[in-house]
Amino acid sequence: MSWGPFSLEGKRAVVTGGARGIGFGIARRFVEAGADVVIADLDGELAEKKAVSLAGPGEAVGMAADVTDAGSGEAMVARATDAFGSVDILVNNAGIYPQVPMLDMTVDLWDRVQNINLKGLAFVSKAFAAAMVAQGTGGKIVNIASIDGLHPSMVGLAAYDASKGGVVMFTRNLALELGPHNINVNAIAPGGISTEGTAAPLEGSGMTEAEMEAMMQQFTARIPMGRMGDPDDIAKTAVFLASSAADYMTGEIMVVDGGMLLS
Ligand SMILES: NC(=O)c1ccc[n+]([C@@H]2O[C@H](COP(=O)([O-])OP(=O)(O)OC[C@H]3O[C@@H](n4cnc5c(N)ncnc54)[C@H](O)[C@@H]3O)[C@@H](O)[C@H]2O)c1
């Protein structure tokens, strides 16, 4: 299959949180579009297993990485450079979304959400931007934000929404800074996407499985397209933003939500 301007042939990418869910969907499409991919995940064993499961034309390797660790971005750059020779694309996908009302929020949980979703993303971006500037060949950074960074979707996500609102503005400002280096920085704001994460009982919410199912039904009823999204809905948009098709786009937030923000 010819990917035309969407081809990622000859490109080297890192996807954080790429062992499952949206991240794995992105890694799979990237490899299909010709990119060599490092799947970097907290669960290094799963990252390696999933990397092996991907059929070319691109290659994939896995590594253990915690985006909150100082130096994790540099370690990802080193892994990509060792395995493939350079790095051209970063997808900041690792994120958590505990649903806990602010009245029950602890400082520890608040910090964990901000550290993974915003601070981790920022400093991993810094490491990749430095490597891309040094390479002098430009690059693409794709941040996975959320519609919740633009409009709150439900009660219990105040910490999450604050982190994703931060991702939206970080994306715009970093685009301003890195434009002169031919590095595009864009974000995708997914709506409700069915993943292992959204299927798991919501941590700390105190909800039973039946209550959670009722909540999911109510949520789906608000989506004009009548269904939850699939990781591949986000993966195909990520291929676009990582490809030369998006060469003149930067600082943009692409909403991929089946129309939910309209309802
Ligand atoms: N699923 C949705 O409905 C939805 C909607 C909007 C935005 N998002 C965003 O998309 C991203 C992925 O969501 P998902 O539903 O696929 O999640 P998921 O829970 O299914 O998968 C997340 C992956 O990230 C990894 N991870 C978690 N913390 C990490 C860390 N500190 N360092 C490295 N890896 C880490 C996990 O091990 C896991 O493999 C998140 O940023 C999330 O906020 C998801």
pLDDT of residue 204: 57
Is residue 260 in some structural domain?
no
For residue 131, CA distances in Å to 76, 140, 241 come to 11, 12, 19
Q: What is the mean pLDDT of residues 160-182?
A: 98
To the nearest whole number, what is the mean pLDDT of the chain?
96
**Which atom from ligand 1 is nearest to the alpha carbon of 95?**
41
* Ligand 1 binding site (Cβ under 6 Å of any ligand atom): 16-17, 19-23, 41-43, 65-68, 93-97, 116, 120, 144, 146, 190, 192-193, 195-198
Q: What is the mean pLDDT of residues 97-110?
A: 97
Is 210 buried (19+), middle (13-18) or exposed (0-12) by CB count in 10 A? exposed
List beta partners, residue 184: 140
**Do residues 11 and 36 make contact, with C-beta atoms less than 8 angstroms apart?**
yes
| Backbone φ, ψ for residue 78 (5° rounding) | -65, -40
Is 136 buried (19+), middle (13-18) or exposed (0-12) by CB count in 10 A? exposed
* Centroid of ligand 1 to alpha carbon of 8 (angstroms): 23
Q: Kindly tell me if the per-residue pLDDT of 47 is higher than 90.
A: yes
pLDDT of residue 216: 87
**Which atom from ligand 1 is nearest to the alpha carbon of 43?**
37
* Centroid of ligand 1 to alpha carbon of 42 (angstroms): 11
How sure is the predictor about 126, in pLDDT bands with cuts at 50, 70 and 90? Answer: very high
* Centroid of ligand 1 to alpha carbon of 246 (angstroms): 24
Is residue 212 in some structural domain?
no
Catalytic residue among 24, 97, 160, 170: 160
Q: Kindly tell me if the per-residue pLDDT of 201 is higher than 70.
A: no
How sure is the predictor about 263, in pLDDT bands with cuts at 50, 70 and 90? Answer: very high
Per-residue burial over 58-89, b = 16 or more CB atoms within 10 Å of its CB, e = otherwise: bebbbbbbbbbeeebbbbbbbbbeebbebbbb
Is residue 207 in some structural domain?
no
Tally of domains within the chain: 1
**Do residues 141 and 174 make contact, with C-beta atoms less than 8 angstroms apart?**
yes
Is residue 204 in some structural domain?
no
pLDDT of residue 1: 72
Which residue reads 């039946």 in tokens? 210
Residues in the chain: 263
- pTM for this entry: 0.97
For residue 194, CA distances in Å to 2, 172, 200, 256 come to 29, 27, 10, 13
Q: What is the DSSP letter of 137?
A: S
Is residue 164 in some structural domain?
yes
Structural domain for 118, as ranges: 8-197+230-255
CA angle 187–89–131, rounded 5-degree value: 115
211-242 pLDDT, tens digit each? 888 888 999 999 999 999 999 999 999 999 99
Is 160 catalytic? The answer is yes
**CATH number where 83 lies:** 3.40.50.720
**Do residues 142 and 188 make contact, with C-beta atoms less than 8 angstroms apart?**
yes
How sure is the predictor about 205, in pLDDT bands with cuts at 50, 70 and 90? Answer: low
Task: Pick from 42, 72, 148, 188 the residue to mutate for probing ligand 1's pocket: most ligand atoms within 8 Å of its CB.
Answer: 42
**Which atom from ligand 1 is nearest to the alpha carbon of 25?**
16
Nearest residue (CA) to ligand 1, atom 41: 95
Is residue 93 in some structural domain?
yes
**Which atom from ligand 1 is nearest to the alpha carbon of 17?**
24
Q: Does 57 sit behind a cis peptide bond, omega within 30 degrees of 0 on the bond before it?
A: yes
Is residue 86 in some structural domain?
yes
142-161 pLDDT, tens digit each? 999 999 999 999 999 999 99
Alpha carbons 98 and 106: distance in angstroms, whole number? 12
* Centroid of ligand 1 to alpha carbon of 171 (angstroms): 18
Is residue 186 in some structural domain?
yes
